[in-house]
Structure 1
Amino acid sequence: MKNLCYTLLLLSSISSFAQNDSILNFQDETIYRINILLPGLEIEKDVYKDFSVVGNLGLFPGYYKNNNLFSNSEEGFFFIPFIDLQVRYYTNFNRRIEKGKTIVKNTGNFVALKFTNYFGTATDHRSTESVRIAGMAYDIQRTYWDHWHLNFESGLMANFRC
């Protein structure tokens, strides 16, 4: 009886550590995210096995300080609204699946074509012009505990005027 209990315990622990096949294969999903560091909302839609499109709408925080010799200095925080559009190609889904790693919520590395528009704003103390940038980026994206999402991005962008 004691050996039977140990065997059942061992078998149940082995099956509980096995990965679910649904998180190893491509799924046509729509992912919604709330960004904390750069306040905003993001939607990612899978369009093909390794491709997705992303839309991000948010606020870019800024700080200003005006030092005038003849008047009081002014300083404060402001937020610039922006929209970010991307087309992503995930480069390592197959490698992650072969190694038994998850690709849930598009965890992986990708190359992206990006377009970002920072809208101009004006207040009593300062104003900003609209800025449009486009380019390519390489990103490393990971999802932890099904709710925490980290994205590290670097790339080349060009500023242009319409």
Structure 2
Amino acid sequence: MHKKLLFISISLITIYGKAQNSDVEKNITGVQLGLFGLDLYNETKLANKTTLRAEASLFPAIWGGGLYAEKGFAFYPALTVQPKYYYNIEQRAEKGKNIKNNAGNYFGLQIRYIPNWFVISNTKNLSLSNQINFIPTYGLRRNFAENFNYEVKAGFGYGTTFGNNFNESGAVLDLSIKVGYDF
């Protein structure tokens, strides 16, 4: 009887311990930088494999060459909310791979708002149209060193401008390669 009880106890502890280790992190806050922007983000656990990422971003834009009267650059803000489903985090944990800070592959749905709040630019009187984008994404997130990460994602979705006399809708492509630090 004692051997059975001991075996069941050890089995439950092993199963419970494995389930604990294969969940996404409860809360991650960090910053990421790439060619296509700077993000300050927080990722909060919703379920065992699902998180909600909220981010404030600053995106770059450049123009110049023969088609433009002048060369220029701009930085503009964006706010994004993205549920993410880490479909392989459990398999990574079972194989002994690093899953710290949600290192895994995911599917997500970005809902990005680009407001006409401000534009930092070398061109005077530059403004944006308010935009909202809905972009299904596929990505992967990995760690290196203690708190550093890199994330690669790609998505293709729908976007629209609003709030002015000229409204336009169409396809939106999102590509991102960023290196970051988790606090």
TM-score (norm 1): 0.74
1:134 and 1:68 map into 2 onto residues whose CA distance is 30
| Secondary structure in 1 matching 2:138 | strand
Map residues 81-96 of structure 1 onto 2, 5 A cutoff: 81-96=77-92
What does residue 30 of structure 1 align with?
A: 27
Aligned partners of 1:65, 1:145: CA distance in 2, in Å? 39
User: RMSD in angstroms over aligned alpha carbons?
Assistant: 2.6
Q: 1:25, 1:110 → 2: CA distance?
A: 14
Aligned to 1:126: 126
Find the aligned partners of 1:139 and 1:146 in 2 and give their Cα distance.
21
Q: Does the 8 Å contact 1:28/1:47 carry over to 2?
A: no
Matches within 5 A, 1:2-81: 24-26=21-23, 28-37=25-34, 38-65=37-64, 73-81=69-77
Partner of residue 143, structure 1: 143
| Candidates 93, 98, 103, aligned match of 2:94 | 98
| CA drift at 1:36 | 2.1
Contact 2:39/2:58 (<8 A) preserved: yes
Q: Please give the secondary structure, in 2, of the residue aligned with 1:94.
A: helix
Letter in 2 for 1:55: A
Where 1:96 maps in the other structure, the secondary structure is: helix
Contact between 2:49 and 2:85, CA under 8 Å: does it hold in 1?
A: yes
Q: State the Cα distance separating 1:146 from its structure 2 match.
A: 2.5
1:63 to partner: Cα distance: 1.5
The 1:68/1:104 distance shift into structure 2, 3 A limit, reads closer
Q: Deviations over 1:24-81 (max 9, x none)?
A: 4426521111122222311111121001000110110111348799xxx432221010
CA 63–125 in structure 1, closer or farther in 2 if over 3 Å, else same: farther
How many equivalent pairs are there?
139
CA distance in 1, matches of 2:133, 2:28: 25
CA contact (8 A) 2:133 2:160 kept: yes
Aligned residue in 2 for 1:154? 154
Cα distance in 2, alignment partners of residues 111 and 96 from structure 1? 16
- 2:24·2:89 contact (CA, 8 Å) conserved in 1? no
- SS of 2:90's partner is helix
- Which runs of no fewer than 5 residues in structure 1 stay unpaired? 1-20
Instruction: Give unpaired runs (5+ residues) of structure 2.
Output: 1-17, 163-183
Q: Which has the higher contact order (CA 8 A, sep 6+)?
A: 2
Shift, 1:95, TM fit: 1.0
- The structure number with the bigger radius of gyration is 1
